[in-house]
Chain A
Amino acid sequence: MSNTNKKAPARTMDLVERSLARRYGAEKRFRFYGVISVVIGVLALALLFWEIFSAGLGGFRQTHIQLTLKFDPDVLEIADARDARQVQNGNFEGVVRAALAERFPAVLDRGGRRDLNGILSIGAAFDLRDKLVDEPELLGQTRTYWLLADDDVDTYYKSLREGNAFTARTSEARQVWIQELIDGGELRTQFNTRLFTSGDSSEPEMAGILGAVVGSLLTLLVTFILSFPIGVAAAVYLEEYAPRNRFTDFIEVNISNLAAVPSIIFGLLGLAIFIGLFGMPRSIPLVGGLVLTLMTLPTIIISSRNAIKAVPPSIREAALGIGASKMQMILHHVLPLAMPGMLTGAIIGMAQALGETAPLLMIGMVAFIMDVPNGISDPATVLPVQIFLWSDSPERAFVERTSAAIMVLLAFLVCMNTLAVWLRKRLERRW
């Protein structure tokens, strides 16, 4: 017995050492898998951002063409530039065409002229009209302006600059004219203000996200106004009042399940209940807000409960001990102290709601709406849905606008999350 005992350690060590190389190999491999996994995640993120940003930056620039044009009263058929009705019906396209014809006098045949007129967007005429409305004395004068180019020209010019020209939608004649304009310094890209100042359009060069952004803000406003008070109230009930019974358990089970129900189901709920049963109109931010409220409530309730839990019981005792009632204790002490945490949760919930698309498709916020909504009962779309709609459009110019819209959406989300983190760092009390 004692003999084997003495020898055993040596033998064990041998065995251990013999297996050691294999075991360390396994250890290294395992660790390597971990690193690889982290790298996959980070790389995917980097690739996503790279793709979006490289495609989207172009969307913030828009090709413009310089043209000298005359506000000819005869062509425009406007006698008095202060008469809104006349200006509204003015033939501004005629002015544009005349100017183009003057710039390219060699183009004479009908087909060529039509092709030539197509290098400018129909939006160019609208811009001229706006200019005349602002400055009626322009009538009869000649001015030089940078006018909005058509999306095909825009795509072609941008691809040309990158070295692989996309010629599929640009005729050879146009390519020549464009080269002529480039050489003359009469074609350039400018900051795409229209992207931020107009609603949707079927013409990519005229399409903007203002309508969608306002729609998103209105929808979020409804969501916040409803979900924050209701969520906080529910959290207060569950933390401060709820007795331990079946009903309370049932509420809790419901909340945790709702938190994991797919968002599209909330869309079905909105469609069947708000639109089908209550007869509310489709496509309006009010209904969108209601649906998103139901969807974000679990998030807000859960984070508010955590914030309320973090308020130390000693504060509650202090308040009760000098005769504060339960409601006074909650309103005077618990809620103010939990507020930063609850707001943080609410902002994160709002960020989720801002990025949500599927349920809003269900309630018709996917309609093509050019006007910027004025209120919560105007038809509207939201930013993610706008992105979805644009990504579905065949025009190449919409690709970069979609990416640009995504960048705007991501910028909003980054701001909201930064605000949430800042709020938590700055205002949250450590006990």
Chain B
Amino acid sequence: MESSVLLPVLALLCALAFVAGRSRSLAVAGVGGMRILNSLPFYYGSLTAFWCALPSLAVVLIWSIFDGVIIENMVHALVPPAAVEAAGGNIGLVMNQVRNLAAGHLSADSVEPAIAAAADRLVALERINRWALTGVALSFALIGAILAWLKINPQLRARAKVEDIFRWTLLACASLAILTTIGIVMSVLFESMRFFSKVPVTEFLFGLEWSPQTAIRADQQGSSGSFGAVPLFAGTLLIAGIALLVAVPTGLMVAIYLTEYASPRMRNLIKPVLEILAGIPTVVYGFFAALTVAPVIRDMGVNLGLDEWLTISSESALAAGLVMGVMIIPFVSSLSDDVITAVPRSLKDGALGLGSTRSEVVKLVVIPAALPGIVGSVLLAASRAIGETMIVVMAAGLAANLTANPFDSVTTVTVQIVTLLVGDQEFESAKTLAAFALGLVLFVVTLGLNYFALYIVRKYREQYE
């Protein structure tokens, strides 16, 4: 049975188990009615339903994780070594062929008989597998439900048991955050290790040439190109730097103006308007940067006569950086807003009472007091800028230039991850694996920034609590 049928059948069984458990609890209660039951009939029903569902679902889950691998291995055995030889020793290619044949994407005439046999075997095994899974899952469901049903008696603490299940379910959901982190670390770490077995870490971290598509020297280890990521790091920093140069002063001044100067009406008007900036999808900013800002920047550069000294490219770091800066303004302003309003009134009153002007209060009291918080929010903004993808993909370009010229096109870590992974790819090539190594660097750097920023902000909050 297909899983799309199996799951509804399981759900139906659970519903039946619920009804059966509920009515049995009323039956065992007898004339005493439900007052003599330890828990409400609802809980007896729920307990029975859980016993019906949980073991069975666990079996389905474990089964589905392992069945693919097991079937694959059984089919592998059928593929003749000659066929693997023919495919250049790549068993994956042969297995793809087998799978395509089994799924009916290929006709049996176009391949060797051994492969056709393997495909037949695959189809048969998959059918057996499906029915076996159905049988096992349903019998687990039935056995679980019947066992629970038999155990029902007025003393059974059904409610307490249901509450335990509830609590454990909640805990499992909360732990998903940990699982996700582990998943991220595992996925980038393992692939990166494989990458570093092909390309030395030092070449990756300190190399000045990035051209993953083509080999530059014959003796290169990666054999498909050179993987010196310094130009990417430099490009990322250049664009993020431009973005922060725009976003930090603007965002900070917006926050100061809105908290210290603007009337409540103005504040209520401006804040949501600026928050719209934060809600616009990054792909829209990317389009805006590529279509509107980049040509303007290029023309400006040419008109100023800068092209005599500098390379002026149609995809410039400046365009991407400026637009990214605009995108981060509300991010900086709302974070700074929080830290500025957290500065105690008494401090400001103290300064005002001495006859300071409002700007002096801000410059001499508010900003120094809020500085750790502001630094924290700048770090968070920096991590946002470094990890931002779509704007740079659409507006910054692909050329791995090592330059500090903002009119030139540069590339970033995120752009390269996208370029390397979009489109056809084999999991084994150094090119694909390089993307994961870049991902690892990105993850480590942003995680460090976030952790540090949150630490600073927390310390700052504690100070005024």
**Does chain A touch chain B in the assembled complex, meaning CB atoms less than 8 Å apart?**
yes
Cα(A230)–Cα(B172), bound, Å? 9
Q: Which residues of B contact A48 (CB under 8 A)?
A: 280, 284-285, 288, 326
Say whether A44 contacts B359, CB under 8 Å: no
Question: Using an 8 Å CB-CB cutoff, how does the interface string of A101-144 with B read, 1 for contact, 0 for none?
Answer: 00000000000000000000000000000000000000000000
A-contacting residues, B167-183, CB 8 Å:
167, 169-171, 173-178, 180-181, 183
Question: Using an 8 Å CB-CB cutoff, how does the interface string of A352-394 with B read, 1 for contact, 0 for none?
Answer: 0011111001100010000000000000000011011001100
Say whether B436 contacts A268, CB under 8 Å: yes
Stretch of A192-200, A272-280, A310-318 lying at the B interface? A272-280
B216 near A: Cβ within 8 Å? no
Say whether B184 contacts A325, CB under 8 Å: no
Closest partner residue, chain B, to A356 (CB atom)? B281
Interface SS majority for chain A: helix
Say whether A261 contacts B274, CB under 8 Å: no
Closest partner residue, chain A, to B290 (CB atom)? A391
Say whether B159 contacts A264, CB under 8 Å: no
A-contacting residues, B61-108, CB 8 Å:
65, 68
Q: A27-B359, A261-B387, A357-B282 are in contact. Are A40 and B447 (CB under 8 A)?
A: no
B386 near A: Cβ within 8 Å? yes
Closest partner residue, chain A, to B277 (CB atom)? A45
Cα(A362)–Cα(B188), bound, Å? 13
B-contacting residues, A179-217, CB 8 Å:
none
Cα(A269)–Cα(B357), bound, Å? 53
A234 near B: Cβ within 8 Å? yes
- The A-B contact count (CB < 8 A) is 259
Q: A30-B362, A388-B394, A391-B291 are in contact. Are A366 and B422 (CB under 8 A)?
A: yes
B409 near A: Cβ within 8 Å? no
A355 interface neighbour in B258, B283, B333, B454, Cβ under 8 Å: B283
Say whether B284 contacts A387, CB under 8 Å: yes
B254 interface neighbour in A37, A298, A406, Cβ under 8 Å: A37
Say whether A388 contacts B439, CB under 8 Å: no
Cα(A52)–Cα(B187), bound, Å? 38
Cα(A362)–Cα(B442), bound, Å? 15
B442 interface neighbour in A52, A265, A384, Cβ under 8 Å: A265
Say whether A34 contacts B188, CB under 8 Å: no
Interface size on A (CB < 8 Å)?
87
Say whether B390 contacts A51, CB under 8 Å: no
Question: Using an 8 Å CB-CB cutoff, how does the interface string of A1-43 with B read, 1 for contact, 0 for none?
Answer: 0000000000000001000000110110111011111101110
Cα(A325)–Cα(B393), bound, Å? 53
Cα(A47)–Cα(B451), bound, Å? 35
Q: Which residues of B contact A384 (CB under 8 A)?
A: 281, 283, 390
Say whether A251 contacts B175, CB under 8 Å: yes
B389 interface neighbour in A256, A262, A301, A403, Cβ under 8 Å: A262
| Residue with the highest number of chain B CB atoms closer than 10 Å, among A325, A327, A406 | A327
Closest partner residue, chain A, to B451 (CB atom)? A257
B249 near A: Cβ within 8 Å? yes
Using A325-B163, A362-B421 as known contacts, list a sample of 16 further A-B pairs with CB atoms less than 8 Å apart, ordered by residue number in A: A34-B256, A37-B249, A41-B277, A55-B291, A233-B169, A241-B171, A251-B175, A257-B450, A260-B380, A264-B387, A271-B187, A358-B418, A361-B421, A387-B287, A391-B286, A392-B394
Can you list 14 A-B pairs, Cβ within 8 angstroms, ordered by A?
A: A23-B357, A27-B360, A30-B362, A36-B253, A41-B326, A256-B454, A257-B450, A261-B443, A262-B384, A262-B388, A269-B188, A297-B176, A327-B167, A387-B287
Please give the residue numbers on chain B whose beta carbons come within 8 Å of chain A beta carbons, in ascending order.
Answer: 65, 68, 159, 162-163, 166-167, 169-171, 173-178, 180-181, 183-184, 186-188, 190-191, 249-254, 256-258, 261, 270, 273-274, 276-277, 279-288, 290-292, 326, 329-330, 333, 355, 357-360, 362-363, 380, 383-384, 386-390, 393-394, 414, 417-418, 421-422, 427, 435-436, 439, 442-443, 446-447, 450-451, 454
Nearest 9 CB-CB pairings of A with B: A262-B387, A355-B281, A34-B257, A272-B187, A30-B359, A37-B253, A233-B173, A237-B170, A358-B389
